[in-house]
Amino acid sequence: QVQLDESGGGLVQAGGSLRLSCTASGRTFSNYVMRWFRQAPGKGRDFVARISASGATTLYADSVKGRFTISRDNAGNTVYLQMNSLKPDDTAVYYCAAASDANTYWGHGTQVTVSS
């Protein structure tokens, strides 16, 4: 039983930046591997970034490597996605996910729109 709430989406021009936040309920946040995914209209849900429970290791999709940074604040039960040099192809609904050994929990998403 975990609730995830995303925020920080919006409309931005190409080349601009946004920072997404995902805050989790409960007191076991530090046990979860956290991931960001995104889904464009008519497309499947694609992996974006991953961060280990401790925050020591990260992994990025090739499409965002060098532009996006995932981080976490375990004391605040929050994971972030800093998005720089945004492109129109980054337009999508962005979702965070929390993974334990047994379950994966999903947020409801936040819209990111990048204009050309």
Q: How far apart are CA 22 and CA 98, in angstroms?
A: 10
Of all residues in the chain, the percent with pLDDT exceeding 70 is 100
Q: Count H helices, E strands: the chain?
A: 0, 11
Average pLDDT over residues 1-11: 93
pLDDT for 8 equals 97
DSSP E strand stretches across the chain: 4-7, 10-13, 18-24, 33-39, 45-51, 58-60, 68-73, 78-83, 92-99, 104-106, 110-115
Whether 30 contacts 56, CB under 8 Å: no
The 8-class DSSP code of residue 100 comes to -
pLDDT for 19 equals 98
Average pLDDT over residues 3-28: 94
For 42-72, what is each residue's pLDDT tens digit?
A: 999 999 999 999 999 999 999 999 999 999 9
User: CA 6, 8, 11: angle at the middle one, nearest 5?
Assistant: 130
Q: Classify 33 as helix, strand or coil.
A: strand
Q: How far apart are CA 60 and CA 55, in angstroms?
A: 14
Looking at 1-5, 10-14, 21-25, 45-49, which range is the least confident one? 1-5
For 23-39, what is each residue's pLDDT tens digit?
A: 998 778 888 999 999 99
Whether 69 contacts 77, CB under 8 Å: no
